[in-house]
Structure 1
């Protein structure tokens, strides 16, 4: 009799353990099923703020992972169009051809583009016409604008960069061909950098360099130039005094995932825009 009782107790324990393990596995599966990833791809200028917003969003949304990748505005817009990204990032307005893709543009912020040089360079101010002549290669030596007798090294962004597109549009650094297509006139001698960080790194290491990058990347390793006597600042851009600025866009197509919608809503919320306002110009 005692032997049978031991067998029954052992069976009960086995059944109980099996049930508990099964329940835990079901709970784990339920948790995994609820976890989703939002892919945000595009402009390297937008990447820092998109990443910061994703970090804050994650604190309140543990089951939604936002993966931000900086690859450039044009690839980002294409990724949103072909569905390989939930959200594309662009640091420029959409091009006419892109507007035909039935994309939805969400302006999340405005940003200034600064013209930057090495801190040891004595130049402090420049006008837009002079800047155009430098970046097109018409002015080739710093001595021509009051600096040292040194050849100017122009640092520009790669083709497809939103920062480059906006910069060329504002300074009119282009010509139109017979089909009306804009052709860049940035000097062919320019050193091409594939990100804002790369532009900054080159300028910080080369005393005769000049380039352009997002205001949000500015630090003490480089020096930004005033434009027509006006410093690049959030307030000056809001007051329309600083003329080199552009929109930061999130781009979507059709219905997006629930996680993507929640992240976008957070970005455009008062809380999200407060974070945007730490370095950029919020839309609210």
Structure 2
């Protein structure tokens, strides 16, 4: 009888929302991979202040995928690394920016280069410069890695890196679908170069490059993107509202900085 009662109690607890991990509420923050460490660290900090709450960072569906998921009511809130495009402005969603992260170029550690100019970046990605020795590095073939079309980091380069939007990417380049693959490829293959968010690369075994003589932590470093949250105003209630307010508050600033970002 006692075993039966315990079993029935467990069934009832599960039916009414109890989970073995003890999380009363979860926030699934769908969207971009860019700036993911910032979203993750802010989510963890929020969870520590709100016992029983967990912020999940699902596999990336990009900023556009996150925005569309919220618009179609397949998600409550999304993580994005850009604002709305013209089509998305018609969805009637709210967008709250809360942090910035830098876009950096990174290469295999053995290539022997630590700085590139904007012109040199364009010449590498267009195929005009094909060996690191042309830039003072090793006699080593340059292997160009790029991101898929529509990726927000690529959009930042096209918008802010002089000349990049006008070049035709070398047909010898390889496209990777996410930042994890980009880091793994550059780490293991000699001569490779790619770009991604500074926060995700701070502890990676790659060489992060200065651009035009400026390091990514310089105040006037030119390549940055804004991280934000997207939701329907009607859904900004309860724990969702609390999370949004936390992300934009001074209480989150130290966490944002420690994860490689800057408070907005």
Check whether TM > 0.5.
yes
Distance 1:125 1:170 in 2: 18
Query: Partners of 1:27 and 1:152 in 2: how far apart?
Result: 58
Report how far residue 143 of structure 1 moved.
3.1
| Pairwise CA distance, 1:93 | 3.1
Counterparts in 2 of 1:65 and 1:110: CA distance versus 1, 3 Å = same
Which residue is 2:256 aligned to? 276
Q: Deviations over 1:42-67 (max 9, x none)?
A: 11123222222222222333444322
- Contact 1:117–1:225, Cα closer than 8 Å, also in 2: yes
- Residues 1-284 of structure 1 mapped to structure 2, 5 A cutoff: 32=18, 35-71=24-60, 72-171=62-161, 172-175=163-166, 185-218=168-201, 219-233=203-217, 236=218, 239=219, 241-256=220-235, 257-278=237-258, 279-283=260-264
Q: How many residues in Structure 1 have an aligned counterpart in Structure 2? A: 254
Alpha-carbon offset, residue 205 of structure 1? 1.0
Q: 1:144 to 1:24 in 2, by over 3 A?
A: closer
Decide whether aligned partners of structure 1 residues 87 and 146 sit closer, same or farther in structure 2, where only a CA change above 3 A counts.
same
TM-score (norm 1): 0.78
CA deviations 1:15-51 (Å, max 9, x no partner) are xxx9xx9999988876659944322101112322222
Contact residue 74 and residue 161 of structure 1 kept, 8 A: no
CA RMSD of aligned residues (A): 2.9
Which 5+ residue runs of structure 1 have no aligned equivalent? 1-17, 176-183
C-alpha distance in 1 between matches for 2:198 and 2:216 = 7
Deviation sequence 1:81-124 (CA, Å, 0-9, x none): 21212211222233222223222221110111111111111112
SS at match of 1:120: helix
Aligned mates of 1:70, 1:87 — CA distance in 2: 14
Residue 271 of structure 1 and its aligned partner are, at CA, apart by: 1.7
Cα distance between partner residues in 1 of 2:116 and 2:98: 29
- Secondary structure of 1:229's partner? coil
Q: 1:276 to 1:208 in 2, by over 3 A?
A: same
Displacement of 1:156? 1.3
Bigger Rg, structure 1 or 2:
1
Distance 1:207 1:58, change over 3 A: same
Q: Is the 8 A contact 1:173 1:186 kept in 2?
A: no
Unaligned stretches of 5+ in structure 2? Answer: none
Q: TM-score, normalised by structure 2?
A: 0.83
Task: Give the superposition deviation at 1:159.
Answer: 2.6
